Amino acid sequence: MQGYICVYRRFLPSKADWDKTRQAALLDPTLDKFLGEYLQNDQYYDWGDDPSFFAAREFLGNVRHAGWGVCRRNVRQHLKPGGLVVFFCAKPQIGNAKVWDYYYIGFGTVRATIDRWQLWQDNQFSCYRRFYNVLAEPKNSKLVQKETFHPYHKDWQKRLTAPYILFEPSEELSHFNLVNPLLVASYDGNKIPEDWRTSNLVLQLENLLFEERLISRRLRSSPTGYGHSHINLTNEGKTTRPGRTIEQLRHALLELSETIFNTGNQAA
């Protein structure tokens, strides 16, 4: 069973891309709501809403119904039902964009992996067609680009080669915290890795994800560019990592995630 750590970035788009997206929001009240929330410092969404925590909350009533279909093609193409994805959000600090803070958002268990034809032709998935990360829709027997957030992806067809991921909505199998996620680390723009905090909850999380599995790196993988390569929790090359099974890790993460949610990120 596969397991991965992935970081998504909550960055501020250029003024031109913001204005173009704002034009689309004139005809879409839900998108307008997203844009209004996105500028608030206590929000942890991805620009483009992928993974689609906002859409899951708005259209299906719970962030655990998130879908994932644009970013991390190299991860999505390997996932199978039952797989585990642990998400962190990277946010630049207000007033100092060189410093990035890292928040533990939670984990999702893969419920299904579907292609875009299934998304649009199978009615059991119809509720996801309103999401902003579907990337493409069928027209005249072809898949054509369907995006809302600028800039659009020039390599959208390549991104389609990996499936659209649906996460299990069960409380026992997925836990996403967009209310008070745990601040775990910061990166000051100099040497990697990022600097992890030393609170009890952070240390527990770091031990579960890194120390027990003998993973020497952390979230930040490069001082330039996107800088956050995914981490395979189950294998390093052809070598199986030590530590708990993915099922055991998921159970431990659930207990820790519930504690974080109940205590708030002030515990960091």
Q: What does the domain layout of the chain look like in residue ranges?
A: 3-267
pLDDT in tens, 51-65: 999 999 999 999 999
Lowest mean pLDDT among 38-47, 78-87, 153-162: 38-47
Q: Is 54:66 a contact under the CB 8 Å cutoff?
A: no
Mean pLDDT confidence for 14-25: 97
- Banded pLDDT at 3 (limits 50, 70, 90): very high
Mean pLDDT confidence for 34-54: 95
| pLDDT value of residue 225 | 66
Gap between the Cα atoms of 34 and 24, Å rounded: 12
What average pLDDT is seen over the chain? 95
How far lies 216's CA from each of 110, 130, 197, 206, 240, in Å? 26, 40, 16, 11, 15
| pLDDT value of residue 267 | 45
- Banded pLDDT at 124 (limits 50, 70, 90): very high
Q: Is 209:233 a contact under the CB 8 Å cutoff?
A: yes
Please determine, for residue 206, whether its predicted confidence score (pLDDT) is greater than 60: yes
Mean pLDDT confidence for 109-121: 97
| pLDDT value of residue 268 | 45
| pLDDT value of residue 5 | 98
Structure-token match 């925590």, residue found: 53
Q: How many Cα atoms within 13 Å fall on the side-chain side of residue 11?
A: 16
pLDDT in tens, 221-246: 988 767 899 999 999 888 999 999 99
| pLDDT value of residue 265 | 54
More confident residue, 93 or 125: 125
Scanning the chain, the segments in alpha helix (DSSP H) are: 15-25, 29-38, 53-60, 73-76, 116-121, 156-159, 200-206, 246-263
Mean pLDDT confidence for 61-70: 98
Q: Is 268:184 a contact under the CB 8 Å cutoff?
A: yes
